[in-house]
């Protein structure tokens, strides 16, 4: 199988590292070829804090993906998150050199490149420049300016910024794992690709991706990205709270959360208990499911309040910016029992759990449809999109035909070729021009050469 037929998404998360290999089938759906998953060691709250451990985890996930897909992995599209991520709104414009020609992709890229030159805070770097709406001359609210005519091309942009050090660390881990980074994508944008429908993005929706170390938010309205942010708390801090609150080890705390955890204590009975085995001959521990739910509820409510603050910052409670499609909860943390009900109550918006099965064709990996794989599936989709764009650009690239100069059927001499390059008529064998004249003729432009010949013709007639 040729490399261009498939793409790879690599999700470097706080709890797991996932590599997914896939391709697009004839119906435009995504066919998963192979998956690799490894425990994430060396990543804390979405940020790499141990290079060698992260490299080993990436290698383990990629190796497993290669084995199950039966193809070599070289290029990957990687996700980025972490509390260092911030976003801002920016407007910019360019004055086009040729307003008589219509706007092309090159003009859009030139405008984006101008935004990329924005001066950031020390140690920061631009990750994404996302156009929201365009303005051509005096015409505003344009979604797609390509094909239009105009002198001034302007746009509002959503600019995503991150710490240069964190970006470099991810790039280094990928490179030292023997891979090439095709693109770096903000994780909530990748997740939204996998779980949101076009109708939801049009109506207004907030995707809340609850991962192990962070909770990522992206807000869409009128099919445009309006707001992104990263909250530095996720499922990992809930596990930490259970561990502390119940005085048990982390492994047991995680198992308790996954199997018996609930976000709403009122829905749990007082009389239900679960037994945790004691350490090294110590007595077993009995934990009330209601107590467990109370510990979980306190932290989940805190995270949802932060989500609410971000929704308010965007203006989601105003009539004009209202999110008709509400909230889509995804990521591993969204598997928590009764989370949806708590989110509805806390935010006042209707919510659903976002599964990544919207665009997947084959049922080879049923477990991939879980919300915890939304980011990795989204990164795979992003990678396929980059590949499609490259292939389209290659297909539509204009073929430059060599300009041919008509000459006599006889083989031209070296002098003739040189003169042709200077746009002068080729010297015919019977024409005896002195060497000095031929040098002068070679320096003349085509028009001057023609005038000389006309003048010479009339002189001969006289």
Nearby residues of 57 by Cβ (< 8 Å), 6 or more positions away = 17, 38, 39, 40, 41, 42, 43
Interior angle at CA 315, CA 314 and CA 316, nearest 5 = 95
Q: State residue 318's pLDDT score.
A: 86
Using DSSP, how many helices (H) and how many strands (E) does the chain show?
13, 18
Q: State residue 1's pLDDT score.
A: 44
Do 225 and 157 form a contact (C-beta atoms < 8 A)? Answer: no
What are the backbone angles phi and psi of residue 279, rounded to the nearest 5°?
A: -85, 130
Q: State residue 131's pLDDT score.
A: 94
Nearest Cα to 333, choosing from 179, 249, 224, 217? 217
Separation of alpha carbons 318 and 322, rounded Å: 6
Distances (CA, A) of 343 to 265, 358, 446: 14, 23, 77
HEC letters along 262-275: ECCHHHCCCCCEEE
Domains of the chain: 86-161 (3.30.1490.110), 198-357 (3.30.420.40), 432-462 (no CATH)
Could you say which DSSP state residue 15 is in?
S
Do 287 and 256 form a contact (C-beta atoms < 8 A)? Answer: yes
Across the 462 residues of the chain, what is the mean pLDDT of every consecutive 10-residue run?
74 94 86 92 91 96 94 94 92 93 93 94 94 91 92 95 95 96 94 94 96 94 93 94 93 94 91 87 89 96 96 88 95 95 95 86 71 93 88 65 44 42 42 45 47 53 48
Q: State residue 364's pLDDT score.
A: 59
HEC letters along 369-423: HCHHHHHHHHHHHHHHHHHHHHHHHHHCCCCCCCCCCCCCCCCCCHHHHHHHHCC
């Amino acid at each position: 199988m040729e490399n261009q037929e498939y793409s790879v998404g690599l999700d470097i998360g706080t709890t797991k590292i996932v590599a997914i290999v896939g391709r697009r089938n004839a119906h435009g759906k995504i066919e998963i070829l192979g998956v690799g998953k490894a425990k994430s060691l060396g990543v804390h709250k979405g940020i790499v804090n141990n290079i060698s451990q992260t490299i080993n985890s990436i290698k383990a996930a990629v190796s497993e993906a290669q084995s199950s897909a039966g193809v070599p992995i070289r290029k990957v599209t990687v996700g980025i998150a972490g509390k260092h991520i911030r976003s801002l709104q920016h407007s910019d414009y360019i004055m086009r050199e040729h307003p008589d020609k219509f706007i092309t992709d090159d003009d859009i890229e030139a405008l984006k490149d101008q935004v990329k030159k924005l001066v950031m805070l020390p140690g920061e770097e631009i990750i994404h420049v996302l156009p929201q709406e365009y303005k051509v001359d005096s015409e505003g609210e344009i979604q797609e300016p390509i094909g239009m005519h105009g002198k001034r091309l302007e746009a509002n942009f959503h600019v995503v910024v991150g710490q240069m050090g964190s970006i470099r660390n991810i790039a280094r881990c990928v490179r030292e794992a023997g891979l090439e980074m095709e693109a770096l994508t903000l994780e909530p944008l990748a997740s939204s690709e996998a779980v949101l429908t076009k109708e939801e993005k049009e109506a207004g929706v907030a995707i809340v991706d609850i991962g192990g170390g962070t909770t990522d938010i992206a807000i869409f309205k009128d099919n445009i990205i309006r707001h992104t942010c990263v909250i530095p708390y996720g499922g990992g801090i809930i596990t930490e709270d259970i561990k502390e609150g119940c005085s048990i080890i982390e492994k047991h705390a995680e198992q308790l959360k996954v199997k018996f955890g609930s976000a709403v204590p009122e829905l749990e009975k007082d009389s239900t208990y679960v037994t945790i085995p004691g350490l090294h001959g110590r007595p077993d521990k009995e934990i009330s499911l209601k107590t467990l739910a109370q510990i979980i509820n306190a932290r989940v409510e805190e995270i949802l309040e932060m989500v609410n603050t971000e929704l308010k910052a965007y203006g989601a409670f105003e009539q004009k910016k209202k999110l008709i499609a509400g909230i889509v909860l995804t990521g591993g943390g969204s598997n928590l029992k009764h989370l949806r009900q708590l989110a509805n109550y806390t935010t006042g918006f209707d919510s659903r759990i976002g599964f990544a099965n919207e665009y997947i064709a084959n049922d080879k990996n049923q477990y991939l449809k879980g919300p915890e794989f939304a980011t990795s599936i989204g990164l795979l989709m992003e990678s396929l999109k980059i590949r499609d764009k490259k292939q389209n650009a290659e297909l539509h690239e204009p073929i430059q035909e060599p300009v041919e100069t008509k000459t006599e059927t006889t083989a031209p001499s070296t002098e003739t070729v040189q003169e042709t390059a200077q746009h002068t008529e080729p010297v015919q064998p019977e024409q005896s021009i002195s060497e000095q004249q031929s040098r002068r003729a070679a320096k003349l432009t085509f028009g001057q050469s023609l005038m000389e010949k006309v003048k010479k013709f009339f002189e001969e007639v006289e």
